[in-house]
């Protein structure tokens, strides 16, 4: 099948590799063209514009940072959308996703949102958790493509519902990481053995695997080679707050986490792994 991929960064690159390995023809575009080099070396064609990707492809996968970037890529040119299907895999607000869906379908195309849980290793291995908001028939039609990225894509409901679930999960990423940082900081700053704390935590119902995944990064204050940058988590926490507030939810906790993440960005931690929130919660002499 003739596939298109717009956005070949940390997550998009591995998705492109999965498509090529499955034997699909692939046209790719990235604003920073150097980020398409590896895919081109593996057989993809690099496009000059997003419109070129759309024109040449039956199914277009998007892995972009936000709704502004998505709209700029999809609607900056007048194109023939007949027979085109967009699979939008980034994290955006539910209302943004439904608005983009309306524009795509009005132009004659099809649209699915398919945000993912997981990071670079899962993207490379095809083990992402995929939550889909779409018409059921569209979901069934692109399911073989989605299974290249994750073994069991979940249809959640209409467009917007997948985005809601994704924001709810990313809010947990922020809350769990901030809460663990605060507890770990108290243990560490009190001179209490960290391994004893971790042994008890691992045996309890409070434990989440992400704690061990981020523990050494926090202890070393080494946040290089991020799987998910701090600036992206802040963007998602803000999207969560915007979606939750009109529902009458008390968002004081998530607003506080967003505030701490903002402090992390002020400490030049934006492009580093989101576990860098530890530096904003537990200041060290080296921060």
State the DSSP H helix or E strand holding residue 112, giving kind and residue range, or none if neither. Answer: strand 110-113
- Is domain 163-281 classified as CATH 1.10.1040.10? yes
HSE at residue 274, side-chain half, CA atoms within 13 A, is 28
Amino acid 284: pLDDT: 83
Structure-token pair, residue 135: 């018409």
Amino acid 286: pLDDT: 47
The neighbour count for residue 118, using CB atoms within 10 Å, is 17
The neighbour count for residue 250, using CB atoms within 10 Å, is 9
Residues 2-159: name the CATH superfamily: NAD(P)-binding Rossmann-like Domain (3.40.50.720)
Report the predicted TM-score, pTM, of the whole model to 2 decimal places.
0.94
Which tens digit of pLDDT belongs to each residue from 80-117? Answer: 999 999 999 999 999 999 999 999 999 999 999 999 99
Cα–Cα distance for residue pair 82/152, rounded to 1 Å: 29
Amino acid 285: pLDDT: 57
Cα–Cα distance for residue pair 50/72, rounded to 1 Å: 9
The sign of the dihedral angle between the CA atoms of 86, 90, 94, 100 is negative
What counts of helices (H) and strands (E) characterise the chain? 13, 9
pLDDT tens over the chain, length 287 residues: 999 999 999 999 999 999 999 999 999 999 999 999 999 999 999 999 999 999 999 999 999 999 999 999 999 999 999 999 999 999 999 999 999 999 999 999 999 999 999 999 999 999 999 999 999 999 999 999 999 999 999 999 999 999 999 999 999 999 999 999 999 999 999 999 999 999 999 999 999 999 999 999 999 999 999 989 999 999 999 999 999 999 999 999 999 999 999 999 999 999 999 999 999 999 985 43
Cα–Cα distance for residue pair 166/49, rounded to 1 Å: 29
HSE at residue 120, side-chain half, CA atoms within 13 A, is 10
Which tens digit of pLDDT belongs to each residue from 226-259? Answer: 989 999 999 999 999 999 999 999 999 999 999 9
Q: What is the DSSP letter of 152?
A: S
Regarding beta strands 116-117 and 129-133, do their DSSP bridges make them parallel or antiparallel, or are they unpaired? antiparallel
Structure-token pair, residue 16: 């492109």
Residue carrying structure tokens 């529902």: 247
Amino acid 287: pLDDT: 39
Cα–Cα distance for residue pair 235/78, rounded to 1 Å: 30
| Domain residue ranges of the chain, discontinuous segments joined by + | 2-159, 163-281
């Amino acid at each position: 099948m003739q596939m298109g991929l717009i956005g070949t960064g940390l997550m998009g690159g591995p998705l492109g590799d999965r498509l090529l390995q499955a034997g699909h023809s692939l046209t790719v575009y990235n604003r920073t063209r150097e980020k398409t080099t590896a895919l081109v070396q593996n057989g993809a064609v690099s496009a000059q514009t997003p419109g070129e990707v759309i024109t040449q492809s039956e199914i277009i996968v998007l892995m972009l940072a936000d709704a502004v970037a998505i709209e700029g890529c999809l609607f900056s040119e007048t194109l023939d959308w007949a027979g085109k299907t967009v699979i939008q895999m980034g994290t955006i607000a539910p209302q943004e996703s439904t608005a983009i869906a309306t524009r795509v379908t009005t132009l004659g195309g099809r649209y699915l949102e398919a945000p993912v849980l997981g990071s670079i290793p899962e993207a490379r291995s095809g083990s992402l958790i995929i939550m889909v908001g779409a018409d059921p028939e569209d979901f069934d039609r692109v399911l073989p493509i989605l299974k290249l990225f994750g073994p069991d894509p979940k249809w959640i409901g209409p467009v917007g519902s997948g985005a809601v679930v994704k924001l709810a999960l990313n809010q947990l990423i922020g809350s769990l990481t901030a809460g663990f940082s605060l507890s770990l900081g108290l243990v560490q700053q009190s001179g209490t053995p960290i391994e004893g704390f971790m042994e008890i935590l691992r045996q309890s119902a409070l434990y989440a695997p992400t704690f061990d995944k981020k523990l050494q990064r926090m202890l070393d204050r080494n946040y290089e080679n991020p799987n998910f940058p701090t600036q992206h988590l802040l963007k998602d926490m803000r999207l969560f707050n915007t979606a939750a507030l009109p529902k009458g939810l008390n968002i004081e906790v998530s607003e506080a986490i967003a505030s701490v993440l903002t402090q992390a960005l002020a400490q030049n931690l934006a492009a580093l792994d989101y576990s860098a929130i530890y530096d904003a919660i537990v200041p060290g002499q080296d921060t």
